[in-house]
Amino acid sequence: MAEATATKAPAKKAAAKRKAPAKRKPVAKRKVTARAKPAAKKATAKVEKTAAKVEKATGEFTSMAKETGHNVLLASLGCYGMAYDQMLEQKKTIEARVEARKKKVDKLYKELVKRGTKVEKDAMKVMDDFEMPKLDLEKYTDLKTYEASLEKAKARLEELKSTATARFAA
Q: Block means of pLDDT (10 residues each) for the chain, length 170 residues?
A: 50 64 66 52 69 76 89 95 96 96 95 94 82 65 79 89 69
Dihedral angle sign, alpha carbons of residues 55, 58, 64, 70: negative
Give the per-residue pLDDT at 1: 44
Q: For the segment 1-45, what is each residue's pLDDT rounded down to a tens digit? A: 444 444 555 556 666 667 766 677 666 666 555 554 554 556 676
Number of helices (H) and strands (E), helices first, in the chain? Answer: 3, 0
Give the per-residue pLDDT at 78: 95
Alpha carbon 58 to its chain's center: 38
Dihedral pair phi/psi, residue 150, rounded to 5°: -65, -45
Distance, in Å, from the CA atom of 54 to the CA atom of 43, rounded to the nearest integer, reads: 16
Distance, in Å, from the CA atom of 155 to the CA atom of 149, rounded to the nearest integer, reads: 10
Give the per-residue pLDDT at 53: 75
Give the per-residue pLDDT at 128: 77
CB 140 within 8 A of CB 149: yes
CB 71 within 8 A of CB 63: no
